[in-house]
Structure 1
Amino acid sequence: MRRFAQPLLLALPALALAVAGLFHPHHLSYDTSYRWFTLHLPGLLAFPLVGVALAALVRTRTDPLAWAVRLAAYVYATFYTALDVISGVAAGYVTHELGPGVPRPEPVRLLFRIGTPLGEIGSWALLLTCALVVVDQVRRNGAVGAVALVLLPGAWLVHVGHIFAPEGVAGMALIAVGTAAAAATDATRRESSG
């Protein structure tokens, strides 16, 4: 049972974001602004934890590849959280506070103008993190480590679809599965070598 606890724990942040994505409005308006705002508040915790979970796959190691995974995960967590704060929390809050019937003013557009490129950096860093994890898994576990390949389409779908349904939801779900599969593969290898 303990063997499955860590993989499930590491999958939880991405899985939570996949579920949240099912409720994420596709457009920000006054009518959707409160849900937009409130969904991004827990995102402040969940988005960085996706990076923490990926970095945890190399937690006890000090080799260059492990450090590259950690650095890429850090860049993802930092920049994607900036997107969440600016284009999620701030834009949703301001839109809601403006009240019904008010067209989106230029200041809200400006929030997206800075939040979107920061999120773009974060999503490319997520792709890099996942690619590095795949290389690490295959290098250390051989063909069995290829289960981590599911991280790549997951990260790509998040890159193109944030956590919006269906692309982003599927992307975060694939990241959850890939993270859990990599952790389970490592646990199995440790048990068989110990």
Structure 2
Amino acid sequence: MDPRRQALLLALPGLSLAVAGLFHPHGLSHETSRLWFGLHVPGLLVFPLVGLALAWLVRGRTDPVAWVVRLAAYGYATFYSALDVISGIAAGWVTWQLGPGVERPDEVRLLFRIGTPLGEIGSWALLACVAVLVADRLLRGRRPTAATLVGLLVLPGAWLVHVGHIFAPEGVAGMALLGVGTAALSWSRRGEATDRAAGAS
């Protein structure tokens, strides 16, 4: 695949969620519940792709570090999807169906009580994934390239998602940084392959 196209494809999940975050309500009420629910349904398809894009960066490798990256990316994808389903789709749907003027019942609060900690596990897994990826890329490269340095943006990106989900402004910025950083790490991987080929010749 063309490296530019590949970098763009790997950036799309994070960038798409950043755009969605611009429209994400900051609170759940009947008035916001339809949008809340509506954003999280397609989110169910996109959130795991952030992890898939990160795991793609170690494709073809069988070393322990690559497997740590894959497992952490999988942990993020599964637990963060649980957050999306419970606190996003389920809580939004129930709040919408209750109708206007109904105070949020304890049952909806209980959905957040289980969804939030599951999302925390997912966001910590995301942080672990990007930390290992960045450390690996810095240690494997002969010298940091511009693309590698831009790739470091995945670290603050993952932290902002940890503290802000996809809510604006923190979560929006975090997802955007994850998208850009993942694309840059993909590009830097291409540069390392070129260096290895040059060294072999």
In the superposition, the TM-score normalised over structure 1's length comes to 0.97
Partner of residue 43, structure 1: 43
- Shift in Å, 1:190: 2.1
* 1:13 alignment partner in structure 2: 13
For residues 184 and 132 of structure 2, the distance between their equivalents in structure 1, rounded to whole angstroms, comes to 15
In 2, Cα distance between the equivalents of 1:150 and 1:173? 9
Asked if 1:113 is matched to 2:113, the reply is yes
Deviations, residues 122-151 of structure 1 (Å, cap 9, x unaligned): 001111011011011112223223432111
Residue aligning to 1:135? 135
Q: Which residue is 2:157 aligned to?
A: 154
The percentage of aligned residue pairs carrying the same residue is 68
Q: 2:182 aligns with which of 179, 184, 190?
A: 179
Counterpart residue number, 1:76: 76
| Equivalent of 1:191 in 173, 184, 194 | 194
Kindly provide the CA deviation profile for residues 61-81 of structure 1, in whole angstroms up to 9, marking residues without a partner as x: 000000000000000000000
Give, in whole Å, the separation in 2 of the partners of 1:124 and 1:43.
19
Name the SS for the 2:153 alignment partner. Answer: helix
Distance, in Å, in 1 between the alignment partners of 2:106 and 2:47 is 27
| Deviation (angstroms), 1:117 | 0.2
* 1:184 aligned counterpart, secondary structure: helix
What's 1:169 paired with? Answer: 172
Tell me the CA shift for residue 192 of structure 1: 4.4
CA distance in 2, matches of 1:105, 1:11: 39
Indicate the SS of the match to 2:152. Answer: helix
Q: In 2, Cα distance between the equivalents of 1:139 and 1:58?
A: 14
1:96 is aligned with what amino acid?
W
Quick check: 1:36–1:88 contact (8 Å CA) kept in 2?
yes
Structure 1 residues 53-64: aligned runs within 5 Å: 53-64=53-64
Deviation track 1:107-133 (CA, whole Å, cap 9, x = no partner) reads: 000000000000000001111011011
Q: Distance in 1 between matches of 2:117 and 2:25?
A: 20
Partners in 2 of 1:54 and 1:39 — Cα distance? 23
**Aligned to 2:60, what secondary structure does the other structure show?**
coil
Count of aligned positions: 194
In structure 2, distance between residues paired with 1:135 and 1:60:
18
Which secondary structure does the structure 2 equivalent of 1:163 belong to? coil
Task: Find the aligned partners of 1:46 and 1:80 in 2 and give their Cα distance.
Answer: 11
Residue in structure 2 matched with residue 96 of structure 1 by the alignment: 96
Q: Distance in 2 between matches of 1:33 and 1:110?
A: 16
Q: CA RMSD in A?
A: 1.2
